[in-house]
Structure 1
């Protein structure tokens, strides 16, 4: 096979506008572990490259073995995919001997002359319990990943029966996904905050050795894997999924998509401590102990919080200021004499009293520092001149320090998007 020089080609990357990166990452992982199932020894030398040659590619000693395009369109009409297939066909010419696979999430009926017209492009096939199908829906990709992992454990580790338990397969899948999705998240964040050629260089240099997947599969995992890092990755994956859904449902494009993408990129740059602080700042009304990210994952952050709350706030306002320098509230809008902080609060006006009470109680219990600085919390639909009131909070008492904190809440307000100053509206 002629060597196709991957490093010399720095093609345009789609990561910068990749709302569905979590799904793409899962599809890339599915292909990688399918190759491992086929031949574990040979696959040890392979490398996964993300969003450079194509949405992802598999390399062997810098030679492209296969390129993969992933499309999660709503349409089942073949014509919706034809242009992308033709583009992949054209691109494949640059990589002699490389296979070209096209992945879709909806079942397609290809024309009879597909092989003749689009060769070497092939619509990727998935091995499912009911047979082989040429699509993988978003709702079934986790199950398919776990089925392949179960086959790997049965084939290569027949004596380790515990590895095919439902719980163990979920652990394995999540840890393997973390390898891919963390890499993509890091790329997404760096690319969103850079421009032009830097974007292409970032994507081109990011590769994952299959040995990293083999390490997870060969290890004997226990409940000890469920540490802060595990749930840190799980929350970031959820944020990515909710972001993707929001962009799709609201048909975000152009400057609006870029603005929200930069916000998500900043979130993805947070460390464990920063992520805890961020979640506290956008969900000041949530109850719970929140001493670990597992509790945040299980008890706090939901799809509605982000899609009906936070992302809507970011979408309908101008781009916020951002401070990563230890500030308790990372995102904010600043006008003369006033600071505005985004939240994920999306309940209606009838919930105002209960929300205010929860915010005050939670802020004191968990030391949500920025609430003691005064300012306005931006909600979708709730307005309150002050989150502090005898009616909503109850009778004050206790230590002087707690009483002092209560008093500071007199200067903290809730304001709906509709009532915000026009200077910070889009």
Structure 2
């Protein structure tokens, strides 16, 4: 691909990716609904390269030229000062492109104190992106609704069945979002392997034709199996993380904290299916992880409050994990600690309930102690001796994998303690 001048690559931050990806998908669908199929075939979208996302047109001579460049800001602040530097940065990138035909758009999740006209008067080289009904911003929750509206319109325009079927539209929204998320994960994997994020992103655009083709699949034949439900769990995991980050006011999270948390999220997204299921089971030792069908997915999949109020809080409040790419810590006494999503209180009844559930899960699923941990970190529950509290474990009918193996695993679990976040912080952050 013939490269255009690249003044500055977009800085890849996973905390903004879910909103950024959905905004990109929304704009892509707008293009699909506004253009002919031949015009659509000439366009590609580029993630995290010239800007957060960029629409480019193919040239008859080869390569692409940028048509529109888009910067996305997913923060709650309505203050103009919060965005001023970003507005100027977008203007600088537009100038460096050196083409008057390229349009630069800025997307906001929160309505600004200044109007679109006022901002564009101060920053004439860029435009504030407008949504339906002249809206100058679109929240994380609203963008998903708008995507589904555009999918329904696209199905009608291109004479594809299902525009009036909410289930079809919902499944298509998941399929289309996955096209973007898979590409971004691939780009980050290339970056992890040594390719610069700039080159990896620039050289891996997504043809808009791919999205239209995906809208034409036979939904009736789209099997809702473990692969499907795994993709939904991954999507939820990312959404919970995005919302967790957005709950903080501008300036509350330092660049160092953002970078640390982004590394974790990139890691979780990089897990292959088996490793991903092991990760889920390790952070939820009190519940069996299974999502082979809708019933299991509904009953046993991730819990939003556990992830936001416990697991992500643990990762945020404790220093970066020991051992590079994994998660977990080692204290000065050489004890191993591992984060969980256990958000039980520290009452006696809670200690008993969570201890019994951990031992039952270990018996039924033959779960290994995550990274041979001595302590599992919880939101506030402390248990020195799981066996002492789990006094009903003998009534469990567990999988017969051999008496010696079973006894070994249970013995390992009985040696594990639960420790609350505040106590763990003191031991690990000193």
TM-score by length of 2: 0.85
Equivalent residue for 1:180? 180
CA shift for structure 1 position 187? 3.3
**Which residue of 109, 126, 130 corresponds with 2:131?**
126
Counterpart mapping for 1:13-412 below 5 A:
13-15=10-12, 17-41=13-37, 42-61=39-58, 62-93=64-95, 94-96=97-99, 97-108=101-112, 109-110=114-115, 112=117, 114-127=119-132, 131-157=133-159, 160=161, 162-188=162-188, 191=191, 193=192, 198-222=196-220, 224-250=222-248, 251-287=252-288, 289-291=290-292, 295-296=296-297, 299-321=300-322, 331-335=327-331, 338-350=335-347, 351-370=350-369, 373=372, 375-389=374-388, 392-395=391-394, 400-401=403-404, 402=406, 405-412=409-416
CA RMSD of aligned residues (A): 3.0
The 3-state SS of whatever aligns with 1:34 is helix
Contact 1:228–1:293 (CA under 8 A) maintained in structure 2? no
CA shift for structure 1 position 135? 1.9
CA shift for structure 1 position 392? 3.9
- Residues 323/353 of structure 1: CA separation in 2 closer, same or farther (3 Å cut): farther
Q: Deviations over 1:263-291 (max 9, x none)?
A: 22211110111111100000011256555
CA shift for structure 1 position 358? 0.4
Contact 2:47–2:53 (CA under 8 A) maintained in structure 1? yes
Q: Unaligned 5+ residue runs, structure 2?
A: 59-63
- Residues 105/338 of structure 1: CA separation in 2 closer, same or farther (3 Å cut): closer
Contact 1:340–1:378 (CA under 8 A) maintained in structure 2? yes
The 3-state SS of whatever aligns with 1:388 is helix
CA distance in 2, matches of 1:391, 1:370: 16
Contact 1:235–1:297 (CA under 8 A) maintained in structure 2? no
CA distance in 2, matches of 1:245, 1:67: 25
Contact 2:45–2:205 (CA under 8 A) maintained in structure 1? yes
CA shift for structure 1 position 417? 2.6
Aligned length, in residue pairs? 410
- Residues 349/145 of structure 1: CA separation in 2 closer, same or farther (3 Å cut): same
- Residues 334/74 of structure 1: CA separation in 2 closer, same or farther (3 Å cut): closer
CA distance in 2, matches of 1:288, 1:140: 31
CA shift for structure 1 position 202? 2.7
CA distance in 1, matches of 2:117, 2:275: 54
Q: Deviations over 1:318-351 (max 9, x none)?
A: 2223588xxxxx5332356532222111221121
Contact 1:374–1:411 (CA under 8 A) maintained in structure 2? no
Contact 2:46–2:202 (CA under 8 A) maintained in structure 1? yes
Q: Which moved more, 1:55-64 or 1:75-84?
A: 75-84
Contact 2:44–2:206 (CA under 8 A) maintained in structure 1? yes
Equivalent residue for 1:327? none
Equivalent residue for 1:420? 424
Q: Deviations over 1:53-87 (max 9, x none)?
A: 11110001210000011122323344433332232
CA shift for structure 1 position 368? 1.0
CA distance in 2, matches of 1:280, 1:145: 32
CA distance in 2, matches of 1:255, 1:229: 34
Equivalent residue for 1:9? 6
Contact 1:44–1:214 (CA under 8 A) maintained in structure 2? no
CA shift for structure 1 position 235? 2.2
Contact 1:20–1:240 (CA under 8 A) maintained in structure 2? no
- Residues 95/179 of structure 1: CA separation in 2 closer, same or farther (3 Å cut): farther
Q: Deviations over 1:82-113 (max 9, x none)?
A: 33223222321224110111211223442756
- Residues 348/184 of structure 1: CA separation in 2 closer, same or farther (3 Å cut): same
TM-score by length of 1: 0.86
Q: Unaligned 5+ residue runs, structure 1?
A: 325-329
CA distance in 2, matches of 1:322, 1:378: 18
- Residues 274/7 of structure 1: CA separation in 2 closer, same or farther (3 Å cut): farther
Contact 2:54–2:70 (CA under 8 A) maintained in structure 1? yes
